Amino acid sequence: MNKIWLIVEREYLTRVRKMSFILITLLGPIALALGLSVIIYLSLSEDVIHKVLIVDEKAPAFNSISNTQNIKFNYANNMDLQQSKEMFYDSDYSCILYIPKNIEAGNIAILYYKKQPSASVIRGIEDKVEAVVEELKLDQYKIDRKEFYDVKTNFTLNPVKYSETGDEEELDKGATYIGFGFGILIYMFIFLYGVQVMRGVIEEKTNRIVEVIITSVRPFHLMMGKIIGVGLVSLTQIVLWITLTLGIFGIAQATILDNYYSPEKLTEQVQATPEVMEELQAEGAAKSGIMDPNSIINRTNWTVMISLFLFYFFGGYFLYSALFAAVGAAVDNETDTQQFMIPITAPLGIAYIFSAAIIKNPEGPIAFWLSIFPLTSPIIMLVRVALGVGEGGIPIWEVALSMVLLVLGFILVVWIAAKIYRVGILMYGKKPSYKELWKWLRYSNK
Amino acid sequence: MNSSPILSIQGVTKRYAQHTALDSISIDVPQNKIFGLLGPNGAGKTSLIRIINQITAPDEGQILFNGEQLSLSHETRIGYLPEERGLYKKMKVGEQALYLARLKGLPKKRAMELLKFWFEKFEITSWWDKKIEELSKGMQQKVQFIVTVLHEPELLILDEPFSGFDPINASLIRDEILRLKENGATVILSTHNMSSVEEICDDIALIYRSKKILSGGVKEVKAARKENIYNVSFSGDKMKFSQALWIDAELLETSTEGKLNVAKVKMLNNKTPNDLLKALIPHVEIHGLHEEIPSMNDVFIQRVNEINKAELEVEAV
């Protein structure tokens, strides 16, 4: 066992010391964090103050419109639309809001602009106008304000699964996007690092050093040492990526985005409009849906999610990298790997393709079977468990079955891979067929 | 040296799908000797070496190491230099040597001490931080040789140890092999190039077509194949020389080396070199006489011819 750790140590150290690893590990998060910051900065920088000139043919009804944080309304007292348009480009107004005389009937107003305002600005103006129009109509129909607000309904349909045993489960499909994200991460890393294991095996084989090493250690130990070492490299990279991205993002937030996105600012806003926030929270995902990341993030059970992510990450990685190791052992150079790569990459590809579909239908039969089958479960099950495990989510037994099968699948695959590996690393000069591989499997142990 | 053999290979057979690589081979490798495992390419030498190194297992037969059944616990007592040399190209020389030494079970501190000793001895201390790929092929071979012997194995298995070395380094390696023997190690040299090892081997085994066809001490094996042929160098008339010979002394060939003539004479009917001298001395002046001893290569070719002839006869019957 000591020797396995020597191998793990070598595989790990030689890889993390490589310039390419250091560069990718450092540049990845910088690029990611900068990208995120730029996106947020750009979207926030739209929040320059929009000056809107109101041309009101129903004067003075719209004189009462109040400013918002980034929209300032000015009331054109003695200008008609034509005059306003003439002076538009000489003024600092960014928009003209034209309220026609029959606005209650047509429910339409016109916004003239120089540069197209963002959707949120248009939405803000709409809300303001809508509120005034409502007031007008309330007066017109002589409806009591209190009655109106009591009657006004914001409807939510809440789908709840009623199981045979009488349990009620509330599905939270939005959360599956989080799981999808994790699943894709696993897919990516299995590919990246599985191929590294394969390259490592081919390298040792073409170097011929393998013959020296296996006089000191068992081929199985060599294979496992390599797989574990490379696995730790991938874990290092993931951890560094996440912490660095968050760190850099945090710094970026504190500097360039300071004025827009600080937590204090957010709480200020919350305090300013407590009713609004309450309303929002009450409505939850129903209104904001999956587009409100805060709600999904808050409702995800991160402890379960991250532990399952680690389990499926390592399970999937070990399973596939053992297969990659066997492929590496079977061939002499990388160009010969093609024919053996297809059966390995096919289930990964299937899992990847179906994971997108399973976001929408995480409880269907395809989702179930693919999340049980060890070659696809590392990706698919993560999409599903984002719904939660146990009450209100995926039944515990399904998760347990999937985990047990993954472990069993891993043992079986390693056993097969080790046999191919043991024979393959000493075979040179011929490209084996599947028939040949089958023969290797049946060679007696030792 | 009457101690039991360090390695006793008993009836080892190894079959692959299409052919038999080793056909019930039995060889005893005596303690503290340099043992030549000889044979042409493809005879089965590497298959046998891999079995001794426990890289593969025999289908039949067994191997005893110091009288014990060969097992994984012996692998730290064996050093192996494979025919196809190889090291991690991107790894630094020192780091790599240390890694391989620790894989062989040496503690880190001890491995460092030994490496320092060997690097100084081979005058390659300045290579420590170089990558293997920066070294020439001969330099890489030196590193690999050090790695092979570093853990002071009792049994060293060197597959084609001199290939890839220039004459200077080859003799350096030869001296090291002899010194290792002096220090108590047993060395198995495997090669198809018989002339390169016969002078340092004590014992040999010849492998041909998966079978052992000859084994024993180098001197004995060669002596057994002597054909009673003598090289006589003389000055004087060649005619007189040949006239002096009689029916039991057959002149095979004559040549001239400088001012001297050299004649190759085969003695028949158990006649001795004294008989030859007696006949020659009255006629020519003798400058030297020595018996021709067959080279290992000659022995091998003779033996192979015998086998092929026997096979032909069997087929004919």
Report the C-alpha gap between A77 and A54 in whole angstroms. Answer: 9
Average pLDDT, chain A: 80
Asked if residue A426 and residue A383 are part of one domain, the reply reads yes
Going by C-beta distance under 8 Å and a sequence separation of 6 or more, which residues neighbour residue B307?
A: B208, B213
Of residues A375 and B317, more confidence is placed in A375
Residue among A2, A205, A209 with most chain B CBs within 10 A, to mutate: A209
Lateral strand order in the sheet of B285-291: B249-257, B260-267, B229-235, B285-291
Residue B316 in domain: no
Asked if B75 and A3 come within 8 Å (Cβ–Cβ), the reply is no
Asked if residue A408 and residue A299 are part of one domain, the reply reads yes
Question: pLDDT for A246-255, tens place per residue?
Answer: 887 777 767 7
Residue B189 in domain: yes
Asked if residue A214 and residue A118 are part of one domain, the reply reads no
Burial A184-202 (b: 16+ CB within 10 A, else e): bbbbebbbebbbbbbebbb
Asked if residue A184 and residue A135 are part of one domain, the reply reads no
Give the pLDDT confidence score for residue B240 in this predicted structure.
86
Asked if residue B195 and residue B175 are part of one domain, the reply reads yes
Asked if B82 and A211 come within 8 Å (Cβ–Cβ), the reply is yes
Asked if residue A316 and residue A181 are part of one domain, the reply reads yes
Which one of B183, B205, B223 terminates a domain?
B223
Confidence of residue B247 (pLDDT cuts 50, 70, 90): confident
Contact residues on chain B for A14, CB-CB shorter than 8 A: 88, 90-91
For the ranges A97-101, A176-180, B157-161, which has the lowest average pLDDT?
A176-180
Average pLDDT, chain B: 89
Contact residues on chain B for A446, CB-CB shorter than 8 A: 56-57
Number of domains forming the structure of chain A: 2
Residue A56 belongs to domain with CATH number: 3.40.190.10
Asked if A207 and B86 come within 8 Å (Cβ–Cβ), the reply is yes
Residue among B18, B55, B59, B98 with most chain A CBs within 10 A, to mutate: B55
Residue among B75, B84, B88, B103 with most chain A CBs within 10 A, to mutate: B103
Q: Two tokens at B83?
A: 């025919």
In sequence order, what DSSP letters do the residues of A187-229 get, joined into one string?
HHHHHHHHHHHHHHHHHHHHHTHHHHHTTTS-HHHHHHHHHHH
Residue B257 belongs to domain with CATH number: 3.30.70.1150
Asked if A439 and B17 come within 8 Å (Cβ–Cβ), the reply is yes
Question: pLDDT for A108-125, tens place per residue?
Answer: 889 998 888 877 788 888
Provide the 3-class DSSP secondary structure of residue B247: coil
Residue B303 in domain: no
CB nearest B89 (choices: A207, A216, A446)? A207
Give the pLDDT confidence score for residue A1 in this predicted structure.
60
Residue B193 belongs to domain with CATH number: 3.40.50.300
Provide the 3-class DSSP secondary structure of residue B146: helix
Q: Which residue on chain A is closest to B17 by alpha carbon?
A: A439
Asked if B90 and A3 come within 8 Å (Cβ–Cβ), the reply is no
Give the pLDDT confidence score for residue A429 in this predicted structure.
66
Asked if residue A301 and residue A216 are part of one domain, the reply reads yes
Rounded to a whole number, what is the distance in Å from the CA of A224 to chain B's nearest CA? Answer: 15
Question: pLDDT for B75-99, tens place per residue?
Answer: 889 999 988 888 898 899 999 999 9
Residue A76 in domain: yes
Asked if residue B128 and residue B31 are part of one domain, the reply reads yes
Asked if residue A239 and residue A119 are part of one domain, the reply reads no
pLDDT reading at B69 higher than 70: yes
Give the pLDDT confidence score for residue A44 in this predicted structure.
63
Rounded to a whole number, what is the distance in Å from the CA of B233 to chain A's nearest CA? Answer: 51
pLDDT reading at A170 higher than 80: no
Residue B317 in domain: no
Confidence of residue B179 (pLDDT cuts 50, 70, 90): very high
Q: For residue A170, what is the enclosing H or E element?
A: strand A168-170
Residue B304 in domain: no
Q: For residue A184, what is the enclosing H or E element?
A: helix A176-207
Q: B90 in contact with A at a CB cutoff of 8 Å?
A: yes
Question: pLDDT for A241-298, tens place per residue?
Answer: 888 888 877 777 677 655 554 444 444 444 444 444 444 444 443 333 334 444 555 5
Burial of A329 (0-12, 13-18, 19+ CB in 10 A): buried
Q: B208 in contact with A at a CB cutoff of 8 Å?
A: no
Contact residues on chain B for A213, CB-CB shorter than 8 A: 100, 103
Asked if residue B237 and residue B217 are part of one domain, the reply reads no
Residue A2 in domain: no
Asked if residue A217 and residue A69 are part of one domain, the reply reads no
Residue among A215, A440, A444 with most chain B CBs within 10 A, to mutate: A215
Give the pLDDT confidence score for residue B130 in this predicted structure.
92
Q: Cis omega (within 30 of 0) on the bond before A60?
A: yes
Asked if residue B238 and residue B194 are part of one domain, the reply reads no
Asked if residue A227 and residue A112 are part of one domain, the reply reads no
Which one of B167, B193, B223 terminates a domain?
B223
Asked if residue B253 and residue B104 are part of one domain, the reply reads no
Asked if residue B274 and residue B149 are part of one domain, the reply reads no
What's the number of CA atoms in the CB half-sphere (13 Å) around residue B156?
A: 29
Mean pLDDT of A427-444: 73
Number of domains forming the structure of chain B: 2
Asked if residue B235 and residue B217 are part of one domain, the reply reads no
Residue B30 in domain: yes
Query: In whole angstroms, how far apart are CA B214 and each of B143, B208, B299?
Result: 34, 9, 9
Give the pLDDT confidence score for residue B107 in this predicted structure.
92
Asked if residue B257 and residue B127 are part of one domain, the reply reads no
Asked if A212 and B147 come within 8 Å (Cβ–Cβ), the reply is yes
Rounded CA Rg of chain A: 31
pLDDT reading at A394 higher than 90: no
Asked if residue B104 and residue B70 are part of one domain, the reply reads yes
Q: Two tokens at B19?
A: 């052919």
CB nearest A215 (choices: B53, B90, B144)? B53
Report the C-alpha gap between A94 and A84 in whole angstroms. Answer: 12
Question: pLDDT for B101-142, tens place per residue?
Answer: 999 889 999 999 999 999 998 889 999 999 998 988 888 888
Which one of B184, B207, B223 terminates a domain?
B223
Domain that holds residue A383: 171-244+288-441
CB interface of A with B, residues 194-253, below 8 Å: 203-204, 207-218
Asked if residue A186 and residue A115 are part of one domain, the reply reads no
Q: Between β-strands B60-65 and B68-69, what pairing exists: parallel, antiparallel or unpaired?
A: antiparallel
Confidence of residue A159 (pLDDT cuts 50, 70, 90): low
Question: pLDDT for A25-84, tens place per residue?
Answer: 888 888 877 787 777 777 666 557 888 888 888 877 888 888 887 788 888 877 888 888
Q: A427 in contact with B at a CB cutoff of 8 Å?
A: no
Rounded to a whole number, what is the distance in Å from the CA of A361 to chain B's nearest CA? Answer: 49
Asked if residue B238 and residue B203 are part of one domain, the reply reads no
Residue A75 in domain: yes
CB nearest A209 (choices: B57, B86, B102)? B86
Q: B14 in contact with A at a CB cutoff of 8 Å?
A: no
Q: B52 in contact with A at a CB cutoff of 8 Å?
A: no
Asked if A210 and B86 come within 8 Å (Cβ–Cβ), the reply is yes
Asked if residue A237 and residue A305 are part of one domain, the reply reads yes
Asked if residue B162 and residue B193 are part of one domain, the reply reads yes
Percentage of residues of chain A with pLDDT beyond 70: 82
Residue A262 in domain: no
Asked if residue A308 and residue A224 are part of one domain, the reply reads yes
Residue A251 in domain: no
| Complex ipTM more than 0.85, yes or no | no
Of residues A316 and A58, more confidence is placed in A316
Contact residues on chain A for B75, CB-CB shorter than 8 A: 215-216
Q: B254 in contact with A at a CB cutoff of 8 Å?
A: no
Report the C-alpha gap between A63 and A76 in whole angstroms. Answer: 9
CB nearest B103 (choices: A6, A203, A444)? A6
Asked if B105 and A213 come within 8 Å (Cβ–Cβ), the reply is no
pLDDT reading at A12 higher than 90: yes
Asked if residue B241 and residue B186 are part of one domain, the reply reads no
Domain that holds residue B234: 227-291
Q: B53 in contact with A at a CB cutoff of 8 Å?
A: yes
